[in-house]
Amino acid sequence: MSFSRLALIAFCASVFAFAGCGGGDPVQNFNNSPIVASGAKKNMQDVKRGIILAGSRIGWQMQQVKPGTMYATIFKRGSMAKVEINYTADTYSITYKDSSNLKYDGNVIHGTYNKWVTHLHRNIRDTLSKM
């Protein structure tokens, strides 16, 4: 077998191995995150206002769907992620809703999605704690 053919086989094997390794990360959701207030207990309007402020501040487009539920969508570098945020006066949850160009296969997704949603979660938590 010639060297060039052997090199081609090795290259193809490494490409397939890399493609099969880790193809992404498990989708990160945040369920029933407690709302920690520095002052008085928050009501639903306070929480809604805090979530909208927190998401908008870091580039998420916030859309109220119904009381206690909103969608947050972000577009970056040709990719899109959409999450559903359910909230009460005491807790909030961030759940995957949709995406494009993030290689979502029903279980795993590109690691960038998890970075974006973790940043959103932290910003919501921090904003609500300072209100």
- 35-64 pLDDT per residue, tens: 987 777 889 999 999 999 999 999 999 999
pLDDT value at residue 54: 98
| 15 Cβ contact list (under 8 Å, min separation 6) | none
> Which neighbouring-strand residues pair with 96?
83
Question: Taking the model in full, what pTM does it have?
Answer: 0.81
Q: Please state, as a whole number, how many other Cβ atoms lie within 10 Å of the Cβ of residue 28.
A: 18
Using alpha carbons, select from 93, 97, 116, 86 the residue that is nearest to residue 25: 116
Question: Which helix (H) or strand (E) is 55 found in, with range?
Answer: helix 44-57
Q: Give me the CATH code for the 26-130 domain, please.
A: 3.30.310.80
Residue with tokens 């959103």: 120
What are the domain boundaries of the chain? 26-130
**Distance, CA of 26 to CA of 115 (rounded, Å):** 12
Average pLDDT, stretch 98-102?
97
11/23 Cα distance (integer angstroms): 18
Residue type, 47: V
Return the H-helix or E-strand segment holding 87. Answer: strand 79-87
| Mean pLDDT for the stretch of residues 2-30 | 56
Q: Specify whether the CB–CB gap between 29 and 95 falls below 8 A.
A: yes
